[in-house]
Amino acid sequence: MRTAPIFKLFLLFASFLTAFEACCLQAVSARTTSNVRRESAAIPERTRVLHSRNYFYVGGTYNTTVADAAAISSGQMYVEHLVPQFVTRKYPIVMIHGNGMTGTNFLNTPDGRPGWTDFFLNKGYELYIVDQPSRARSPWQQTIDGPQYMVDTVTVEQRFTATAKYNMWPKASLHTQWPGNGTRGDKIFDDFYRTIVPALSSNVEASQKFRPVGAALLDRIGPAIIMTHSQSGQNGWPLADDRPSLVKAIIAIEPVGPPFTNAIFPPIVPARPYGLTEVSMTFSPPIQSASDIETVVVSSSENYTCIQQASPPRKLVNLANIPVLLVTSETGYHTVYDDCIRDFLTDAGVPVDHVNLGDVGIHGNGHMMFMEENRFEIAEKVLHKWLEEKL
């Protein structure tokens, strides 16, 4: 008889908990829906795509270390392979990061939002994301590989994340799309900076190490689209030269340049003796060495000189049938000289489409555009649109 009131009290308490839980779930749901709406206003609805993931290595050479024939391997390249649930595109995309960076550049933004990998997986592309040799998961061997260097925080702020603050080139002040204020102490900047790793000091060595493993990757996976960024631009052109039948298109995001010389940032010294590369390319008429390429100064200003081949220019015959998309941000330092890169490619017989984002209504981006607020707008309106037209 005495248990009835207790049971009634228990039922009353249970009803209270149920009502409280429902209230809380509604509040959480409302907040979640609000966040999703804010995010989906800027990116496609399906951003996190069901996919499989594995990895493998290509290349590598055993190097004997001691008299008993023990050896270590060097020169191999890490490749991360992402496959969406539904592959709807004929060719995969090989994504190659820039200097001091790794393949994580393309996975997500520094503050954890979906990146270009999610975008292209959502579009049905199979992806191969690399860490360049002697970098990150592609090991640097101290007894074999050349010296490394590390990019400091001020350099990153000046060139990539807070360019408006330093205003080192004409359009730097227009940079608005980097998330956060772009300086040391800002959480997003700090999270980004901690992803940066030591890289080979020599661009010549970096190019020489990438060339055989890039070709080995294409030999393994077959025809592909090559996407390069910044320093890795110098790897895309030789890769197409070595495997012209396997490179179906090149997307060059502000590739290293300008032709034949450095620019903007001291020291302003000769570089890329084959035009856009540190390593030899196949020209017609043929050359025996880089010194066979005659050059002429087209224009010159403070910290920048545009140098082109003298007329008649030699042709990059193995790139003649490979479509190229050259993408330049509205505010990055490449705004100074990417026209010169375009003209070099055009003179060499390479079919290139050059898109300056500001000219197509996409404003405020800098060199690290794939990490910035409107990264999906760039991917949709420029990269994917171009691929749909060309392939």
Helices 233-242 and 203-221, axial angle in degrees (round to 10): 50
> Is-catalytic flag, 173?
no
- List Cα–Cα distances, 256 to 6, 19, 99, 334, in angstroms: 77, 61, 10, 9
- Spatial neighbors of 249 by CB under 8 A, at least 6 apart, are 91, 225, 226, 322, 323, 324, 325, 387, 390, 391
* Of 275, 276, 226, 274, residue with least CA distance to 252: 226
Secondary structure (DSSP) of 18-62? HHHHHHHHHHHHHHHHHHHHHHHTTS-S--S--EEEEEEEE--EE
Strand partners, 182: none
Tokens 């709406």 found at: 37
Contact status, residue 239 vs residue 227, Cβ threshold 8 Å: no
Q: Which of 74, 134, 138, 230 is catalytic?
A: 230
CA distance 272 to 261: 7
* Of 56, 50, 102, 49, residue with least CA distance to 81: 56
Number of H helices, E strands in the chain: 10, 16
Phi and psi torsions of 186, nearest 5°: -75, 130
Contact status, residue 115 vs residue 122, Cβ threshold 8 Å: no
Strand partners, 273: none
Q: Which residues are catalytic?
A: 230
